Amino acid sequence: MGRGGENYGKRENAGAASSKQETFPAWARDVKQCEEKYQVNRELGLPSAEVEKRRQIYGLNELLKHEPTSIFQLLLEQFNDTLVRILLAAAIISFVLAWYDGEGGGEKETTAFVEPLVIFLILIVNAIVGIWQESSAEKALEALKEIQSEHADVIRDGKKVSSLPAKELVPGDIVELRVGDKVPADMRVLSLISSTVRVEQGSLTGESEAVSKTVKVVPENSDIQGKKCMVFAGTTMVNGNCICLVTEIGMNTEIGKVHSQIHEASQSDTDTPLKKKLNEFGEVLTLIIGMICILVWLINVKYFLSWEYVDGWPTNFKFSFEKCTYYFEIAVALAVAAIPEGLPAVITTCLALGTRKMAQKNALVRKLPSVETLGCTTVICSDKTGTLTTNQMAVSKLVAIGSRSGTLRSFDVEGTTYDPFDGKILGWPVDGMDANLEMIAKISAVCNDAGVEQSGRHYVAIGMPTEAALKVLVEKMELPEKYASSSAPGDPRRCCQVWNKMVQRIATLEFDRDRKSMGVIINSSSGNKSLLVKGAVENLLERSSFIQLLDGSTVELDKYSKDLILQVLREMSTDALRCLGFAYKEELPEFATYNSDEDHPAHQLLLNPSNYSSIESNLIFVGLVGLRHSNKTSRILLGKRFIKQLKTAKQLGFVLWSLQETIRTQQKLFVAKLVYSDIVKISLPGA
């Protein structure tokens, strides 16, 4: 925790002191105990006077601003290399000798200084490239601040304060979180306003699945993923809304601890394999060249030093300083000629090109030699799918109902990103969408809380990756001709916007793990109420009584059609696809006059999630989709107990090594050690 960049030293000391204090395990205490600990009432919040007192104690809710590395220090680091130091010494000696020759009446022309000037130029270019690269990477150490929330809805003095700057939060504040909000601090969940609350916390845990939150206590020794009554700074709300109590801010949050670890790692000075080899080469080269120069100089001693023997003892020494200097220049010239002046420049150029290519993939490297470390990595050992994928989903297969009962149609969908223009749907009907495909598009667009936005050159998901992938599918499906004129051509969200404009969402039946589905009640332009549902295919089939055919007509869901759909589901699941089914319901008598009025009798049904399964009954099944992950790496190492991941790994295109093969061929495997202090930031498009 800190109070501003101007008090950096004090902040660091305060942060160190506070970290030593015993942390209150809010996750292992019930709501009442937490309120008593932080002396706050959830209905009233903290009074303004108390807020100021706590701010004086805890500081602002922001991450530390570490002092950046000075340009002078970066310059010195560029010469922390044996080969570079050899070149620098050779250049200085060559320059001094060239100057001395000129002063002595020798050749004091431009040609005499060509060699030292060229060496100096190589060293200057090498230093400039290194400083530029590290200066750019230093800025990436602030990347963690980008995932911090900027505003929060807080209750203070019994009033709700909207869009309060998140840095002004203090422990004990009462905060309301909604779908899409970034969590501004580590907080204890006090109450759920919606039936379910889910938070995507992959930035801390690496897990791709959103975590359902609760108010119930958990064991004190639980890990981050197990603290289901806590929400953490930097994570994102993907479903529901809730009331929370701030427990930790600033550097005491989990993301603050990660920030501290990255800073500590960045201060370590671990040499990469390339730098070690270059240093070894420089030391050997120095030794060999030094011995040769001394040997050449000693061979020519007789030309500038002579003596006579008198009574067996050398006397009458004659020394020629000019000749000594001449032969010393020959030795130095030989040393300079033996030094590969172009090697540092070639290495720097190659590594700079490597960092440029990696930057195009959103990977920023702090030190140039680390490019070689990453480049020689051939095997990555992992124990979970979430580490292998980018937390990015894409629909790869669409299955719709055919023209008669017992028939299905399958379409392959190209593209692996959230870019709506990335690929198309193969085998799409030439005459456009039929009624069945229209319903699939409508459910995908409307029964959906996610979004897709363009960020720089990439498209990113806002909300759950699975739902964002469905939004991309809708755009690839295009619009029926009757609606095409009402959209703006070229808009990557135009199709979803059209489908949402045609209806009005008046209620949401939120997802839960029991029924494994999500539903929305909509009001069409004609005033009729209907229900759109998406969820696990098996669960939807159990609650479906009909299927919709190609022309929009409905027929009873018989056993043959159900078995056929389940067979396709098994095949898609075998190919490591995550499957989602779609269904709808046209008649909702209890909601015929409902328009989100809390006094309406139907509203009471929505307050109890146990009623959702009965509302989502007698559905009309319309189709399903298969979604796949995007992969991060090209080769993985799997143990025996990870056999269930083989299908996923194969689908992602990995080269698989079993545990036995690894033991037999361990001499052929090379697992490069990644120097964490040199790898500042690695992200992938859409991740």
The Cα–Cα gap between 479 and 624 comes to 19
Give CB contacts under 8 A, 24+ apart, made by 653-656: 654/388
| Backbone angles phi and psi of 414, in degrees to 5 | -85, 165
Active site residues per annotation = 383
DSSP 367-380: STTHHHHHHT---E
DSSP 220-279: TT--TTT-TTEE-TT-EEEE--EEEEEEE-GGGSHHHHHHHHHHHHHH--PPPHHHHHHH
Specify whether the CB–CB gap between 450 and 468 falls below 8 A: yes
Cβ neighbours of 640 (radius 10 Å): 8
DSSP letter, residue 536: -
The Cα–Cα gap between 168 and 151 comes to 9
465-477 vs 435-446: helix crossing angle, rounded to 10: 140
Which residue bears the tokens 């290194």? 130
User: Which residues touch 345 (CB under 8 Å, ≥6 apart)?
Assistant: 122, 125, 126
The Cα–Cα gap between 68 and 72 comes to 12
| Backbone angles phi and psi of 422, in degrees to 5 | -90, 95
The Cα–Cα gap between 553 and 87 comes to 82
DSSP 636-655: EE--GGGGGGHHHHHHTTPE
In degrees to the nearest 10, what's the CA dihedral of 37, 38, 44, 46? Answer: 160
> What distances in angstroms separate CA 184 from CA 50, 76, 107, 245, one per listed residue?
20, 39, 71, 11
The Cα–Cα gap between 63 and 352 comes to 31
Specify whether the CB–CB gap between 416 and 422 falls below 8 A: yes
